[in-house]
Amino acid sequence: MKLSTAGNAGNGGAASAAGDVEIVTASKGSLREVVLNRPKKLNALNQNMVELMTPEIQAWEKSDLAKIILIKSSGGKGFCAGGDVKTVVDLAAVGNHAAAIRFFELEYQLDHLIGVLKTPYVAVMDGITMGGGVGLSVHAPFRIATEKTVFAMPETGIGFLPEVGGSFFLPRLDGFLGTYLGLTGKRLKGVDVLYAGVATHYVPSSRLPALESRLAEINNPTHELINTAIEEFSADLGSESGFSLGGSVMSAIDRCFGYNTVEEIIAAVEKEEDSQWKEETLERFREVSPTSLKVTLQQLRAGRKMSLGDCLKLEYRLVQKFLEGHDFEEGVNATLEKPRRKATWKPSTISEVDAAKIKSDYFDATLPLQLTLLSDKDYMEYPHRKYTLPSESDIQNVVTGEAADVGQYALNREEVIEYFVRERKGKQGVKQKVADVLDRKTSVIKNDESHSLKWAY
């Protein structure tokens, strides 16, 4: 194994002690590793780390020797718990907006680069994965969750927006799950990250060293071979509980979060039967920034019809407006102060935030800076989404007969589940995911001896 440090002591990179190095790179056979090494800061992403990672990944992308790129943390509770927003808001507070926006420019360029790499990229989300850490992982073809993974996009709680490509990946989750996660900042833990579609695999953390060794041994690795190798180390989910947001909770999410105004969404939640989910959701709406809620909802609706690159360009525009406003600085400072205090939002209520003004000020305004990406490659849908669990759309196509290889006859429940187990080559979690969707979205055709299913639109 070859180890190296990416950076120099002058900018916070390599220093005299290995523990001071924020980014470590390693070579293991044809495997190239990026190791995030700020464990005391939960590996929160700063500009220096981005500047160190980007040229390394670009060089590996061009190298015939680098066959797989893997990113992980050096340990601790965090894979990457977010971006260094405190530095950013402090720069903006003293009027240095150019330096503040520079961090986001470099970060989004890296996020997009990761999303369009031809070299297979594996993100090991073994720990807290939020904000900037999501940008380093969620656009990858392979995203490994463990029992230690805690995923969230909690930006509305700090007066910000779910960026790093959140406007792309959140609307592409099942139903309106992404809208719910983006507005409320709900945390997903462990196997829930797989069932939500954020992770592609669920591997116990104790198996990660062996998995890395296996990946390094693969000759001429393809995405298919890598997927098979990771699946060999995946946990047997037969005894695991299902998706905590599945069943009746997911049905409620779809009922409530499909509206196009924040007011309608909240009103729909209030009409739901009393439950822990209802109370938690309403409490979260009372805590977060009203401005962030309305920007985020418009952002997610727009992002469903945009490419990954265009979503990042949109977010770059929105960030410039947030750096000029009140809530982002207030939210960050309120969160980080000891003891933590309740943020004072301006405006303080949802009714005071005019959606039309949000559109004109944040989405339609002419801004001085535009994001330039490092690659011309782009897409409207993730090219490697077949490595995740089947989506609701995938399952719908099989139930309705629109999938090319289903045949002319409607399938029953067991046949649909068997189809996906076979199609995904026995992938862990497929049975549970498909069964949950069928329970919520289908009914048995009346007077059909085969118990064939029909989709409930």
Is 0.85 topped by the overall pTM?
A: yes
Phi, psi of 175 (to 5 degrees): 50, -130
Task: Tell the burial category of 278 from Cβ atoms under 10 Å away from its Cβ (0-12, 13-18, 19+).
Answer: middle
The span from the CA of 121 to the CA of 140, in Å, is 6
The pLDDT-based confidence of 447 (bands split at 50, 70, 90) is: confident
**pLDDT, position 19:** 59
Reduced 3-state DSSP string for the chain:
CEEEECCCHHHCCCCCCHHHCCEEEEEECCEEEEEECCHHHCCCECHHHHHHHHHHHHHHHHCCCCCEEEEEECCCCEEECCECHHHHHHHHHCCCHHHHHHHHHHHHHHHHHHHHCCCCEEEEECCEEECHHHHCCCCCCEEEECCCCEEECCHHHHCCCCCCCHHHHHHHCCCCHHHHHHHHCCCEECHHHHHCCCCCEECCHHHHHHHHHHHHHCCCCCHHHHHHHHHHCCCCHHHCCCCCCCHHHHHHHHHHCCCCCHHHHHHHHHHCCCCHHHHHHHHHHHHCCHHHHHHHHHHHHHHCCCCHHHHHHHHHHHHHHHHHCCHHHHHHHHHHCCCCCCCCCCCCCHHHCCHHHHHHHHHCCCCCCCCCCCCCCCCCCCCCHHHCCCCHHHHHHHHCCCCCCCCCCCCEHHHHHHHHHHHCCCCCCHHHHHHHHHHHHEEECCCCCCCEEEECC
Higher pLDDT, 407 or 250: 250
Q: What is the pLDDT of residues 126-142, one digit of tens each?
A: 999 999 999 999 999 99
pLDDT digits (tens, 9 = 90+) for 44-54: 999 999 999 99
Mean pLDDT of 160-164: 98
Q: Do 50 and 102 touch, CB atoms closer than 8 A?
A: no
pLDDT of residue 2: 52
Give the tokens for residue 69: 């790129």
φ/ψ (deg, to 5) at 124: -100, 100
Weakest mean pLDDT among 95-109, 145-159, 231-245: 231-245
Q: Which region, left, alpha or beta, applies to residue 217 given φ > 0 means left and ψ of -120 to 50 means alpha?
A: alpha
Which residue has better confidence, 202 or 340? 202
At 270-289, the pLDDT tens digits run: 999 999 999 999 999 999 99
Quickly state the pLDDT bin for 381 (edges 50, 70, 90): very high
Across the chain, mean pLDDT equals 94
pLDDT of residue 380: 98
pLDDT of residue 408: 80
Structure tokens at 449: 């001896």
The 121-125 sheet, strands edge to edge? 2-5, 23-28, 31-36, 68-73, 121-125, 142-145, 201-202
- Position 5 confidence tier, pLDDT thresholds 50, 70, 90: low
Dihedral sign, Cα of residue 21, residue 23, residue 28, residue 30 = negative
Two tokens, residue 52: 């160190």
The residue behind tokens 């339609």 is 364
pLDDT at 6: 56
Q: Is a pLDDT exceeding 70 seen at residue 17?
A: no
pLDDT band at residue 195 using 50, 70 and 90 as cut-offs: very high
Residues 297-347 pLDDT 10s: 999 999 999 999 999 999 999 999 999 999 999 999 999 998 999 999 999
Burial of 33 (0-12, 13-18, 19+ CB in 10 A): buried
Q: CB neighbours (10 Å) of residue 373?
A: 18
Which two three-digit tokens encode residue 155? 């930006």
Average pLDDT over residues 220-245: 94
Res. 405 pLDDT band, cuts 50 70 90: confident
276-280: long-range pairs with CB below 8 Å, 24+: 277/249, 277/252, 278/252
Residue 210: pLDDT band by 50, 70, 90 thresholds? very high
pLDDT in tens, 64-110: 999 999 999 999 999 999 999 999 999 999 999 999 999 999 999 99
Q: With beta carbons less than 8 A apart as the criterion, state whether 138 and 169 touch.
A: yes
Give me the mean pLDDT over the 236-256 stretch.
93
129 has which bridge partners? 80, 151
